[in-house]
Structure 1
Amino acid sequence: MTKYMRTYILRRLIQTVVVIFLLSFVSYYLMNLMPGDPIDIMIMSNPRMTPEDADRLKKLYGFDKPIHVRYWIWLTTTLSGDLGYSRTYRVPVGEILGRRLLNTFYLSTSALLLSLAIGIPIGIFSALRKGSSFDYAVNLFAFAGISIPSFFLGILLLIVFAIWLKWFPAGGTQTVGANLTGFAAFADRVKFIILPMCSLTAQQMAQYVRYMRSSMVETMHFDFIRTARAKGLPRRRVLFVHALRNALIPVVTIVALSISFLFSGAIITETLFAYQGAGKLVYDSIIANDFNVAMVSFNITVGMVLIMNLIADILYAYLDPRISYK
């Protein structure tokens, strides 16, 4: 790693920390604009609570302080390792968030790997057969995959495979009440993850096919490709050493942003399939005004997006030696 690369990475890391700090304050402020704080909700759910009790609780939890003071208290407490307590689930935030992040990681990783394994080769083959009937068919299905709303595709999968064919369960993460271990537990989890994974894979795969095809078509017209062919290099070497490496540069950004959502979850898909992941947790927390869970989940999402963007920029230099960070 060169001196310029280290300087660039250090500068970007500092920028990442600053952006996370600013966005966390903005999200904290917006969350506090929502009607009713936790104490008000406690008053509504407990008619026996007196105004004196409400004032005492607001002073105890700092709701009587200015918003910047409350934010600083929340930030220092979070950085110390205390993520707070979930009012909805009656457990510490770390306990409920850890399980949900793991579920989302399983779902998003399987969908990402499957979409890459299918989308990248199809995009390359379609570019090499530009103008053929196969290319037109690939473009048609890719446009359909990008255009179909995720909720519509999810409902369609539920109707066909869960209701009509009854091949897979309609929702959930695992069989409730089943005390399974070993391979039986793994097979049970796979049975519940297939439908949401297919819904996510269809959309991501369509994007990778389109980006990979257009990038490969453009790369095949570059001068260095014609030079490599004029030198008599084997076709396989021209395609997979010279062309593919350069064609992957714009695709890296899309893949990096996809990786950043491994821990944030797909809110619509997870909610539709009742999959107990981080995306559904964020949605439920915002609806229930579960402040601590929503804030921690949001900051994890922001951090992952910024870190994956940094990794994508570093990969650019590896894929394209012409890129310099001086």
Structure 2
Amino acid sequence: MLRHDRPQDTRMNYPHQNARTKPLGRAEIVRRIVEEGLPVAEVAAGFGISERTARKWLARWRAEGASGLQNRSSRPHAADDEAGRFWREITACLRREYRLSGEEIAVRLGFARSKVARWLTRIRLGSLAALMPQEPVRRYQRERPGELIHLDIKKLARFAGVGHRITGNRRGASEGMGYDFLHVAIDDATRLAYVEVLPDERRGSTTGFLIRALRWFRARGIRVERGMTDNGAGYIARLFRKVLRMLGIRHIRTRPYTPKTNGKAERFIQTLLREWAYAIPFPSSERRAANLPRWLAWYNHQRPHGSLDRRTPVQALAGTT
């Protein structure tokens, strides 16, 4: 009879939750194969394991005796050593200095591509973007109200019921209802904001919004000197540029594909979506639009702004006039 020794350190010998056999069962598998001479495949089928697993326990028993049937620690046999760190440093150097791909590095160093890929992932050099120097953060803020206003547009889908963002159910979604277009104007120095919901972003809408926004700022003592926009069709239209020129306002356009240039408008739109558009389960897009003036008044008069030393936009305006 095969002897089954009780494990000494039970902390290291708990089987994993999906284990088909435990040390006692493994000993029985070996006994049936060795002492009773039963076929390995038959014994494995009786225990609900594969023939390969049964042969694994048989080989361990023959090599180590009863101790080979115990559970083993999942700790790697070989820990990281100085040589491993050395080759990772060489890999990082080849990646940074010569911009070699993982496959090229593997060929040069004689390692498997999968190993080099793991190293590059670990040191966060797997993508080409990681090799590009990070552009420094450029923060600016105009000193005078009206010295620069940021203009931007955000498209929001119209709906006739509470959407999947709230319910989690996409059935019965309001499809084919079109879009609302949020036209945004925000003063760089004070973060004072003016917003309208319009049906489109064409030149007539963008130009009309510009005129109403300028009047709104003017009513609060702000004379606009410059306006920053992206390169949207409504903003580069001849009508829009003509109105700016007639009013003596300098038009500043962002570089293509660099929305961070107009970052204050982009950041305000994020706040607008998070704290207004998606904050309340509005029953319809019309009710959402009707709620905009209330939220905008709260933003301008009551919401403290981190970049304004926790002042509201209205307080910042009062401190600069």
Greater strand share, structure number: 2
TM bracket (short chain) = under 0.3
Q: What is the TM-score normalised by the length of structure 2?
A: 0.19
Q: Which has the larger radius of gyration?
A: 2
TM (norm. structure 1) is 0.19
Q: Is the helix fraction higher in 1 or 2?
A: 1
With a CA cutoff of 8 Å and minimum separation of 6, indicate the structure with the bigger relative contact order: 1
